[in-house]
Amino acid sequence: MFCTICAARNVPGAGICVACGASMRPTAAGQQPLEMQVPATTTRRHGLLRALYALPILAVIVLTGAGLMLWQARQSALAAAYARGAAAAAIHDFPDAIAAFTEAGEWRDAPDRRAAATAALAPFRTAAQDGLAALDGGDFQRASQLLLPVARVLPSYDDAAARLADARTGHARDLANALTAAQSRHDWIAAESTLRSLVATGAKGDPAGQLAAMQRQHGPLVLGRDHGLWLAGLDGADDKLITNHAPVVWPTWSPDGSRIAFLTYDPDDPSGNISLCLVNVDGSDFRTLVGRISAHAPPAWSPDGKRIAYTSFAAYDSVTDEGPISVRYYDLALDREVDVSGDRFSLAFNPAWSPDGARLAFVAKDRATGERPQEASGDVMVARVGAAGIANVTDGRVRDVWSVAWNPIADQMLVYSLFGQAWYEPPTTAIRLLDPRTGDLRVIDRGEQSLGMPQWSPDGAAFAYTRGDHTLVIDRGDATRALTLQSDLSGDLTWSPDSQALLALPVDATQPTEMVELDRGAAVRPLSLVYDADRPFYAPPEWAPSTPDPPSGAPSISGAGLDPVSRP
């Protein structure tokens, strides 16, 4: 029988339930027990049993809730680590990104992001290891080069910023010793290179001032003398023969000052062939690159020193006066000549490089048979290196154009006009400033006296030209200054590398070359420079170059050879 209170099974006839102690006395059929009272001890036992039955359920509920809370906390921690990794990767803090993505485990694409950060860190890790090894080995220059990109991006990685400072200090000390040695042996090329490196390292003192003073005093200038190629100081000392392998015409520095290009001729060749030559500044690696060059102007180096442009007679027959005179350049990396203007024009000449080195401007004229170039009409053209098509940027507005000079750091062109010229009559000349971005063409000078071709300063902030026989004009955009000099001026000028002085060359090399020092109140100092001045075999001095900073931003498009190209 079963207890009516707790449903426990009892033996037949039991008076009290063995489980809960309730009375099991029978009542009349169909009626409830007359007395169902349960002793207090029985009630407490009943509640305890119920509680014991509920404990497992409560334990499951509690454990489930705790597990859910732990899971949520873990997910939040993974998400937070992932977010830290993403933020670190965004600022190129790759070590922290790797640590954070590792902590994020398998959250989202954390493994892939960790692998990407590890790959991005790899070159910096290698550079830091190699840089520290170079630093420990005393190779401070290499250590500086290796640690610089690490310090820029990850300054705290392997203490890169502090170790870079150590490397630079050691490099500056080595350079100072090298400078002293170069000056003691009067090797001004080496001294200049060393001072440029000191300026770049941010060494203490005033290396930039030292460099300008040394260039002002010692040059060096490159020039032709007695048909040889020479380095010369402005003070008349420290002259050094580079080579006398061939007669020198129009010697011109490479932008980095390591090489010199010049034109040469063979005195025994009745055809008058002119060739383009190249030699290292120490006289080594003398090469003849190409022949049949015009000797009326110096070769033009591209800003990166990889190409040399010139006017070529290669396709012209001087006997029949047929075939084009063209603009070409020699690609030093590919060791080959490239024809820029081809047969599009009967006469293309006087090339000038854009500051980015990607474009080449030149003058093109439609010259009738027997017509002198000074009297033919023309325009300024711009071609892109390695691309088809040529743009006309003056389009008939300067028909007497003769040459163009591109600002070394900006999209500005000085357009020089020349018409006529005979022994009994000077030419008609003018100078205009062309903005290829807008097409604006502004007259700078168109006086009664003949003007020399303008020359930009290396920093692009000014240009200078001669007016008549004795006037030097310096134009800074917002101010123009005209100086009267004593020598009869040839029109040829060369700027100092710091753009604070220039040399005005005389017609007769026996007259003084006059140096104008702009940073000293335009003080004029005569110099005795000896060079070959007999045209057309002319080898005037050129000041050692200064490589300007590359132009910021992309080159302008309108009218600068990047537009849809017009084909004349």
**To the nearest whole percent, how much of the chain has pLDDT over 90?**
53
- At 35, the pLDDT band (50, 70, 90 cuts) reads very low
Burial profile 361-375: b = 16 or more Cβ within 10 angstroms, e = fewer: bbbbbebeeeeeeee
Q: Please indicate, yes or no, whether the overall pTM of this predicted structure exceeds 0.85.
A: no
> For residue 397, what pLDDT is reported?
93
Residue 214's pLDDT is what?
86
pLDDT for 41: 58
State the Cα angle at 478 between 413 and 504, rounded to 5°.
65
d(CA 537, CA 227): 9
Nearest in space to 354 (alpha carbons), one of 413, 431, 439: 413
Task: Work out the average pLDDT over 330-340.
Answer: 96
- Return the pLDDT at 549: 46
Structure tokens at 251: 């010697």
pLDDT in tens, 383-406: 999 888 899 999 999 989 999 999
Q: What pLDDT sits at residue 509?
A: 84
pLDDT at 557: 31
Q: Which ranges of 18-109 does DSSP label H, i.e. alpha helix?
A: 40-90, 94-103
pLDDT for 320: 84
Confidence (pLDDT) at 372? 74
pLDDT (tens digit per residue) in 503-558: 999 998 889 999 999 988 999 999 999 999 987 789 999 997 765 444 444 333 33
The whole-number pLDDT of residue 16 equals: 73
Contacts of 129 (CB under 8 A, 6+ apart): 158
pLDDT of residue 64: 73
pLDDT at 221: 92
Residue 478 confidence (pLDDT): 84
Evaluate if residue 32 carries a pLDDT over 60. Answer: no
Percent pLDDT > 70 in the chain is: 86
Q: Which of 440, 431, 475 is nearest to 457 (CA)?
A: 475
pLDDT category at 425 given cuts 50, 70, 90 is low
Spatial contact of 279 and 260, defined as CB atoms under 8 Å apart:
yes
| pLDDT for res 360 | 96
How far is 250 from 533, CA to CA, in rounded Å? Answer: 10
378-384, strands of its sheet edge to edge: 347-353, 359-365, 378-384, 390-392
Residue predicted with more confidence, 250 or 64: 250
What's the order of all strands across the beta sheet hosting 463-467? 455-456, 463-467, 471-475, 480-484
Strand, helix or coil at 183?
A: helix
Res 55: pLDDT: 72
Confidence class for position 308, pLDDT limits 50, 70, 90: very high
The predicted pLDDT at position 238 comes to 78
The answer to whether residue 502 scores a pLDDT higher than 70 is yes
Q: What is the rounded average pLDDT of the residues 352-370?
A: 88
Instruction: List, for residues 42-89, the tens digit of each pLDDT value.
Output: 556 666 666 666 677 776 776 777 777 887 888 888 889 899 999 999
In terms of pLDDT, which residue wins out, 286 or 428?
Answer: 286
Q: What's residue 419's pLDDT?
A: 87
pLDDT on residue 560 = 35
pLDDT of residue 305: 94
Superfamily of domain 294-451+548-568: TolB, C-terminal domain (2.120.10.30)
Q: How far apart are CA 533 and CA 227, in angstroms?
A: 11
- Residue 212 confidence (pLDDT): 84
Q: What is the pLDDT of residue 551?
A: 43
pLDDT digits (tens, 9 = 90+) for 166-200: 998 899 899 999 999 998 988 888 888 888 888 87
Q: Which residue has the higher pLDDT, 57 or 314?
A: 314
Classify residue 23 by its DSSP letter: B
Residue 374 pLDDT class (50, 70, 90 cuts): confident
Q: Which long-range contacts (CB under 8 A, 24 or more apart) does 166-170 make?
A: 166/135, 167/131, 167/134, 167/135, 167/140, 167/143, 168/140, 168/144, 168/201, 168/202, 168/203, 169/140, 170/135, 170/138, 170/140, 170/143
Confirm if 128 and 158 have CB atoms less than 8 A apart.
yes
What would the mean pLDDT of 252-262 be, rounded to a whole number? 94
Q: Higher-confidence residue: 26 or 437?
A: 437
